[in-house]
Structure 1
Amino acid sequence: MNAFVGITDWDWFDLLRTRPELEEVNFWQPSGSRQFRALNPGELFLFKLHSPRNYIVGGGLFAHSSLLPISLAWEAFGMANGAADLVQMRSRVERYRRQGQDHSTDYIIGCILLEQPFFLREDQWVGVPHDWSPNIVQGRGYDLTVEPGLTLWARLQTARGAALEVREEEARYGRPILSLPRLGQGSFRVIVTDAYERRCALTNERTLPALDAAHIKPYSDSGGHRVENGLLLRRDLHALFDRGYVTVTPDLVVEVSRRIREEFENGRDYYRLHGEPVRPPGNPVHRPSAEYLRWHNECVFRG
């Protein structure tokens, strides 16, 4: 298993370490020119402060990476971006951007989505591996099964083993095997958006601010932040879906309730969608669950 040690902004770290209740964080990269691809979901992303603080001070389980408009990153993660508000976030991002500051531009940033973040107390900080170079700009990867990654893993376990979500039966033998991350709300939104290639599953609408990641079965009803429990919908369709005026059958066909016409004497644009096929994600793993869709048909749809 691999880990990535990413150079971390002090202000980002300093704010987030005071928020132990957070289930996810967005480790942003200011340029937005290249997507992070160094880890697989469930592998470990570690926070290393800028020199001269040459310490690893926390980490999280990698879930996904994306390139997003900064406004969407803020909408999805809020203070889990390591800033008190969007103005402060933009200020911190723009410190590192080579382009001139333009507060009217919804520029793209890199987003590394991390679940179950942990932040070490200062007396737990772990020194960087012996082969760490001061010339590293963004970070570097380590194989945790061989040196020096093996020693790094052992030191992390000593510092905060419980935070690493290690499977007990494997940890006894020192093998770095991590569980797949449980998604938070923000990560669910971004991953569903990317799974549907940023197009509404019902209309192919691509205007990103008009799209929402909808839960098929609500999180509050044990639906979970799972991609197979999601649909990317235009916001008006999301509202109708949640209220039972629109559903999707287990064989991925749109159904529109007659109640729209009966209650609102309208709905012509929506009835055009009735009987149309839903465009599923390209990755079969991300296709909406037939079980969740059946639940929505039976328990939410107004018929």
Structure 2
Amino acid sequence: MINLFIANTDNSWFDFLASEGDLAEVNFWWPGESGFRALQPGELLVFRLKSPRNKIGGFGIFSSHSALPIQMAWETFGRANGVASLDGLLGAIARLRTNVSVVPSTDIGSTVLVEPVFLPEHLWLDLPESWSSSIQRGKLYSTENADGLQLWERLLDAARLSAVTNVAGFPSHEQARFGLPTLITPRLGQGAFRVAVTEAYGRQCAITGGKVLPALDAAHIKPYSEGGHHAKSNGILLRKDIHSVFDAGYVTIKDDLTFSVSKKVKEVFNNGEEYLRLHGRPVRPPKHKADWPDLDLLRWHNKDRYLG
């Protein structure tokens, strides 16, 4: 069984992203910061284009949902927010939230979708008969029911016919067409990785416990450019300055999850007391053990990046 959530979708958001070409991920944002619990990772959020279109225009694979400050949403996803600039994002939200002042620190709902599909107009789909024009936010469907299963199959057929079936998830989509619908493992992009790691660590620096969100970064243990993946087990949430010295090899995390600072900090810079005083401090891991740093990746960083 798989769930599909048909969400009312802004036409200008859809058109902007459809014109952007291949996208690994998008931010399907909501003007308020309310939660979204309808889907689990690997299920589908379906784009219902608003009036006068009233059609299904595509879908994305659900990765996560968070409340993010507008500034962070822009820094994380950029044009994948469906606008060309931070000012454009602020303006789009302000038009929908007329009762409050909208500033870069204002929280919005951020639903991260990976491997999105924007169907060409000739492949847009009719809405299920059970859809009502009075629905404000969206409606949940399940492949356990006839209308949900039909929606799933129609989406796969349209995606297969479109020019975007070369995205990584589609082999499993195609296999599912001839069997039971199954969850699709979402492949995280850079933005989805940042959000996932930020939430896994409870929005706190793993070393200092600092909670000032604009000062935090999701660091790769093994850089993506060197074969590391956008996976929570390859990430750790660090204060931005600690992230920089971690990438440069002046600090590391031992496989016993303690923070280690190289003597090179003092030798090279004749300084670094703010880091040296953290030497030996235990790392605060995520709540869920499945999200903890991969020990093999930590050993890679100790051996191949750390200056000792």
TM-score, scaled relative to structure 2: 0.94
- Structure 1: runs of 5 or more not aligned: none
Distance 1:139 1:169 in 2: 26
Number of equivalent positions: 301
* Residue identity opposite 2:208 in structure 1: T
Which residue of 1 is the match for residue 136 of structure 2? 137
**Matched ranges for 1:276-287 at <5 A:** 276-287=281-292
1:27 matched to 2:18: no
Which residue of 2 is the match for residue 254 of structure 1? 259
Cα 1:218/1:271, change in 2 over 3 Å: same
Q: What do residues 178-198 of structure 1 show as CA deviations (whole Å, max 9, x unaligned)?
A: 421100001101110111011
Deviation at 1:101, TM superposition (A): 4.1
Which residue of 1 is the match for residue 58 of structure 2? 58
Deviation at 1:242, TM superposition (A): 0.2
Distance 2:127 2:43 in 1: 18
Deviation at 1:175, TM superposition (A): 2.4
- Residues 61 and 186, structure 2, Cα contact 8 Å, conserved in 1: yes
Deviation at 1:22, TM superposition (A): 1.3
Distance 1:171 1:197 in 2: 35
SS in 1 for 2:77: helix
* Residue identity opposite 1:226 in structure 2: A
Distance 1:145 1:166 in 2: 22
- Residues 166 and 179, structure 1, Cα contact 8 Å, conserved in 2: no
Question: Given the alignment, which residue of 203, 211, 217 partners 2:208?
Answer: 203
Q: Which runs of 4+ in 1 moved over 3 A?
A: 161-164
Which residue of 2 is the match for residue 11 of structure 1? 12
Question: Given the alignment, which residue of 267, 271, 280 partners 1:266?
Answer: 271
RMSD (CA atoms): 1.4
- Residues 156 and 173, structure 2, Cα contact 8 Å, conserved in 1: no
Distance 1:111 1:204 in 2: 24
* Residue identity opposite 1:155 in structure 2: R
1:107 matched to 2:112: no
Deviation at 1:105, TM superposition (A): 5.2
Deviation larger for 70-79 or 47-56:
47-56
SS in 1 for 2:88: helix
**Matched ranges for 1:45-194 at <5 A:** 45-102=45-102, 104=103, 106-161=105-160, 162=165, 165=170, 167=172, 170-194=175-199
Which residue of 1 is the match for residue 219 of structure 2? 214
Which residue of 2 is the match for residue 288 of structure 1? 293
Q: What do residues 214-235 of structure 1 show as CA deviations (whole Å, max 9, x unaligned)?
A: 0000001110100110010001
* Residue identity opposite 1:129 in structure 2: P
* Residue identity opposite 2:232 in structure 1: V
Deviation larger for 221-230 or 93-102:
93-102
Q: What do residues 136-181 of structure 1 show as CA deviations (whole Å, max 9, x unaligned)?
A: 1111110023211111112112211346625278435342224211
* Residue identity opposite 1:70 in structure 2: I
Distance 2:139 2:256 in 1: 44
Deviation at 1:94, TM superposition (A): 1.5
* Residue identity opposite 2:159 in structure 1: R
Distance 1:174 1:113 in 2: 27
* Residue identity opposite 2:131 in structure 1: W
Distance 1:252 1:91 in 2: 44
SS in 1 for 2:139: strand
- Residues 202 and 254, structure 1, Cα contact 8 Å, conserved in 2: yes
SS in 1 for 2:145: coil
TM-score, scaled relative to structure 1: 0.96
Cα 1:276/1:100, change in 2 over 3 Å: closer
SS in 2 for 1:79: helix
Cα 1:172/1:91, change in 2 over 3 Å: closer
Q: What do residues 44-67 of structure 1 show as CA deviations (whole Å, max 9, x unaligned)?
A: 111001123211101110000000
